[in-house]
A and B are shown apart, each in its own frame.
Chain A
Amino acid sequence: AQSVTQPDIHITVSEGASLELRCNYSYGATPYLFWYVQSPGQGLQLLLKYFSGDTLVQGIKGFEAEFKRSQSSFNLRKPSVHWSDAAEYFCAVAGSGNTGKLIFGQGTTLQVKP
């Protein structure tokens, strides 16, 4: 069965510091992978996605993620964090078949210190 693990429940970084949020997935075939961000009281906004091709994916707001098949990982990175990046981040994998169902990790809460 497909699953997504985000090992870090909560991360605190200083503004201007670099950021890496970890995501590991379990999936039998080539996965479709997503990172979403959720601000308090809001829905989810897509940051970036990987379907195929270049394993380094660029997204919005200066985020990027790298797909590593050998490690079953899709970690999210940003070189310099801004206070407005404080939010909940979810990694997701599209389920098997063509249903389009997403399986989410439990999320990582990012806190940014001034």
Chain B
Amino acid sequence: EADIYQTPRYLVIGTGKKITLECSQTMGHDKMYWYQQDPGMELHLIHYSYGVNSTEKGDLSSESTVSRIRTEHFPLTLESARPSHTSQYLCASSRQGADTQYFGPGTRLTVL
């Protein structure tokens, strides 16, 4: 069973606020990913990391930023949230290589 955690699960905030979505995994996986998913739609990769101090932008452009200071932790930050950021954000991790990705439960973000 995969152990990957996301907090908060739900977040409702006002426009202009700075937010950080937390993602942690206890499996020692080197690779971590952030996906954005609108209701009823597919997942789009917005950020990924190969390991500590490695971050890359994904296929979908995003105004968010990420950091990877520790292997187990991959937080996502929005400096100034806008209603267009309203979505579900899913974090995942995997071992090196094209391996199975394990997903967290997601954070559903609503920006008013």
Residues on A close to B: CB < 8 A? 32, 34, 36, 41-46, 49, 90, 94, 98-107, 109
Contact partners of B90 in chain A: CB under 8 A? 43-44
A82 to B90, CA, bound (A): 27
Q: CB < 8 Å: which of B48, B96, B102 contacts A101? A: B48
Ranked 6 nearest A-B pairs via Cβ: A43-B103, A94-B98, A44-B103, A106-B42, A104-B42, A43-B105
Task: Compute the total of residue contacts between A and B using a CB distance below 8 Å.
Answer: 59
Residues on B close to A: CB < 8 A? 6, 31, 33, 40-45, 48, 58-59, 90, 92, 94, 96-106, 108
Contact partners of A41 in chain B: CB under 8 A? 106, 108
**Docked-complex contact A102 and B45, CB < 8 angstroms:** yes
Contact partners of B102 in chain A: CB under 8 A? 46
Known A90-B42, A102-B45, A104-B42: A46·B100 in contact at CB below 8 Å = yes
**Docked-complex contact A102 and B41, CB < 8 angstroms:** no
Known A105-B42, A106-B42: A100·B103 in contact at CB below 8 Å = no
